[in-house]
Structure 1
Amino acid sequence: MDEILSVAVDNLTSPMVMFFALGFLAAMTKVDLSLPQPVAKTIAMYLMLAIGFKGGVGMAGTGAGLSVLTPIAIGIVISALLPFIGYQLLRLSSGLSAINAAAVAAHFGSISIVTFLTASQILVDRGQGGEGILVAVAAAMEAPAIVAGIWIAARYLKKNPQEQSTGSQDLSMREAVFNSSILVLIGSFIIGWVVGPEGLSEVKPFIMDPFKGVLCLFLLDMGAIAGRGLMQNRKVLDLGVMAFGLYMPLIGAGIMALAVWPLDLSIAGKTLMLVLAASASYIAVPAAMRLALPQANPAVYVTLSLGVTFPFNLVIGIPLYVALANWLY
């Protein structure tokens, strides 16, 4: 308990979480602190580039052995598994239709890169840095959940063709895997891996020094968006759906905690694996669902992942996962 409280206090008083809270509270009082879309997109691109590059540098000089491939394989399997668990739970405990449940479940199998970035920085501030390979794990966990969610919906629609939307389109693997954020993340990871520490020293003033401040600005914007979305769309979330947004991250973290137990990763590395399994996408998966399942309601899945699960993980979840990893490993 003391460990959880210590991490929680450190987390709640970190600049990143406090800036998120500022944006969230501002939205609740109807003060708009959100950034212009081009600025927000540029900042998001910078964060993907920086975390990918730093992860690649951390991997420089290592080969593609089992210690590298096993965490990626575990991430892929769990990303594909969680939508099936989430779908069944939603159908049992909420009033969501099958299509909406499939769309929501896909979000909880995928990952929130911003939750990962924030947890990474919090661990660094505590003197615990995770392995560079975790950036590759994060990238690998995006697409399997998208494919699983679409497969669940397609299976339902095959039995109920009258619910098929005329506006739906087939989502190719290229569109699922190579969205811009993942492409930048993977590309910068490879570049960092190739150039190593010497290459990092050349761009350190751009990659390292501004990172924490830029992340604070981005979280201010995310807080404003999350608060506004929750204010506008809270009526579309029934009690069962709201509860799902709070307990599903814990289920994901629990499954991942068992899966990474035997891995040769640091405690910080295992913590970040838990964070990845506990987070919910609000960038890549919403874009994919709008294309592949236009009959699903974006107000449900975006509001739940961004307005409920993201704040929960940022404020409560990360301290829990840090404490759990320190206790288990």
Structure 2
Amino acid sequence: MTTLDLLQANLLSPPVLCFALGALAVAARSDLRVPEPVFAALSMYLMLSIGLRGGAELGHVSVQAVAAPIAGAFLICCAIPLWCYAALRRLGRLSVPDSAALAAHYGSVSAVTFAAVTAMLDRQAVSYEGYAATLLAVMEVPAIIVAIGLARVAETASAGGIVATGSGGAFLGANRPVTRGGGQALLAEVLSSKSVLILIGGLAIGALAGSASLTKVKPFFVDLFPGALCVFLLALGHMAASRASEFRKAGVFLVGFALLMPLLHATLGLGIAYAVGLSMGGAIILATLAASASYIAAPAAVQLALPEANPSLYLTCSLAITFPFNIALGLPLYQAMAQAFYG
């Protein structure tokens, strides 16, 4: 299957067409809306479904089998914020809060993009590791913590403050006093956010219950998943198109950043996937996760820890540029890259 065939198949898939319909509704000034309660319920449903299925598969594999992929995924999400932050500060000339906020978004991952790539692979009957949802769970939080830590270090250095070495490991600066234990409070806040909690909780439930016990709920959490994803992407298409006018605020550099970083990170993901022994399907998933940008967990954490960061920058880049690029063009491109890489 050529890259053009993969692109055509993805662009004509129901989830992508639903995303386009949501964007078209904005262009047509339609009153089409997915009610907020429905959107929130679908978000919880998708995360729980991903977690349950991944946890059930995780129960069939040994610790030795997943150790290397988990380590590789963890390495990726800790490394990405480092060079994203450096590029945004030095080349983009962005402020410390804005650079850290964007680094957090691009180091963390998008669960909806994960759902889209697994749906694509399922449609094409491409096999992949059943515990792939574990990689999603591993990659969601660490990058946020790394990026916020970079901001704290920069603020401390610029303010001539000191670094506390107490139990919380919090950084103290003249402009942002943080009590001891502040680092622990931030970590607890991120881990207790509904997206992270539902995903990790779903993994735990799936692993404890096992595949046999989950058979009874399969019609709801597995069979209805593609349809729920379509409705969710309809809402996201509307949301992304609503922010299209903010492209000019992002500037040429940030638009380029939002399009180039996914390609760079997907290449890194493929290399790590090959090194840790993932199948080609697993490599496509890890590459897609590395290429994705968070717009659920990261915004919540950034608003808490970096309230001075400009939401129009990190939400426009992650949701209005990178997400549509990945859904429409990135998925088939990463699949073609993996096919070429794996031979």
Normalising by structure 2, report the TM-score: 0.90
Q: What residue in structure 1 maps to residue 134 of structure 2?
A: 136
Q: What residue in structure 1 maps to residue 8 of structure 2?
A: 9
Structure 1 position 176 matched with structure 2 position 190? yes
Q: What residue in structure 1 maps to residue 225 of structure 2?
A: 211
| Structure 2 counterpart SS, 1:296 | coil
Q: What residue in structure 2 maps to residue 109 of structure 1?
A: 107
Higher mean C-alpha displacement, 30-39 vs 270-279? 30-39
Q: Distance in 1 between matches of 2:55 and 2:46?
A: 14
Task: Determine which of 290, 297, 304 is the counterpart of 2:317.
Answer: 304
Q: What residue in structure 2 maps to residue 29 of structure 1?
A: 28
Cα drift, residue 188 of structure 1: 1.5
Q: Distance in 1 between matches of 2:46 and 2:320?
A: 21
| Structure 2 counterpart SS, 1:78 | helix
- In the TM superposition, what whole-angstrom CA distance separates every residue of 1:260-309 from its partner, at most 9, and x where no partner exists? 21323221111100001000000111111111011111111011100000
CA contact (8 A) 2:18 2:230 kept: yes
List aligned pairs for 1:82-97, cutoff 5 A.
82-97=80-95
Q: Distance in 2 between matches of 1:95 and 1:254?
A: 26
Amino acid at match of 1:79: C
Cα drift, residue 191 of structure 1: 1.9
Structure 1 position 59 matched with structure 2 position 70? no
| Structure 2 counterpart SS, 1:312 | helix
Structure 1 position 243 matched with structure 2 position 256? yes
Q: Distance in 2 between matches of 1:38 and 1:76?
A: 33
Task: Determine which of 287, 294, 310 is the counterpart of 1:281.
Answer: 294
Higher mean C-alpha displacement, 148-157 vs 217-226? 148-157
Q: What residue in structure 1 maps to residue 170 of structure 2?
A: none
Segments of structure 1 that go 5 or more residues without pairing to the other structure are none
Q: What residue in structure 2 maps to residue 197 of structure 1?
A: 211
Q: What residue in structure 2 maps to residue 325 of structure 1?
A: 338
CA contact (8 A) 1:167 1:294 kept: no
Q: Distance in 2 between matches of 1:33 and 1:83?
A: 37
Classify 1:204/1:238 alpha carbon distance in 2 versus 1 (closer, same or farther; 3 Å): same
Amino acid at match of 1:160: S
- In the TM superposition, what whole-angstrom CA distance separates every residue of 1:74-95 from its partner, at most 9, and x where no partner exists? 1111101101111122223324
C-alpha root-mean-square deviation of aligned residues, in Å? 2.0
Q: Distance in 2 between matches of 1:15 and 1:282?
A: 22
Cα drift, residue 178 of structure 1: 3.0
| Structure 2 counterpart SS, 1:237 | helix
Amino acid at match of 1:205: P
Higher mean C-alpha displacement, 292-301 vs 127-136? 127-136
Segments of structure 2 that go 5 or more residues without pairing to the other structure are 160-172
Amino acid at match of 1:26: A
Amino acid at match of 1:111: V
CA contact (8 A) 1:120 1:129 kept: no
